[in-house]
Structure 1
Amino acid sequence: MVTRSSLRHLRIPFSFFLMPVFFFALALTPNLNEGRLVLVFLALHLFLYPSSNGYNSYFDRDEESIGGLKNPPKVTPDLYWISQLFFVIALILGASISWDFAGLLGIYGLVSMAYSHPSIRIKKYPWLSWVIAGLFQGYFTFAMTYMGLSELDWTVIFKPHVVIPGLLTSLMLWGNYPLTQVYQHREDARRGDQTLSRTLGIKGTFAFSSVFFALTGACFVWYFFDRGQSSMVWIYLSAMAPVILFFLVWFFFVRTNPEKYASYSWAMGMNSLSAIFLNAFFIYYFIENTQILQVFAY
Structure 2
Amino acid sequence: YEDVTTKFFEHFVYIAESLNRIGEGWTGSWDEDEGFFYDVLALPDGRYIPLKVRSLVGLSTLFAVLTLKKDLLKKLPDFHTRLKWFQKYREKNNAYQVIEESKDHDDILLSLVPRQRIEKLLKALLDSQEFLSPGGIRSISRIHGTPYMVNIDGQEFGLSYQPGESNTSLFGGNSNWRGPVWMPMNYLIVHSLQQYSEYYGDESQVEFPSGSGKQMNLGEISNELAKRLVSIFKKDENGARPVNGSEKIYQTDPNFSDLVLFYEYFHGDSSRGVGASHQTGWTGVVAELINRISLFKREAKKEMPGASLSLANPLLQ
Q: Scaled by the length of structure 1, what TM-score is found?
A: 0.35
Relative contact order (C-alpha < 8 Å, sep 6+): which is higher?
1
Of Structure 1 and Structure 2, the greater helix share is in 1
Query: Which has more radius of gyration?
Result: 2
Q: Scaled by the length of structure 2, what TM-score is found?
A: 0.34
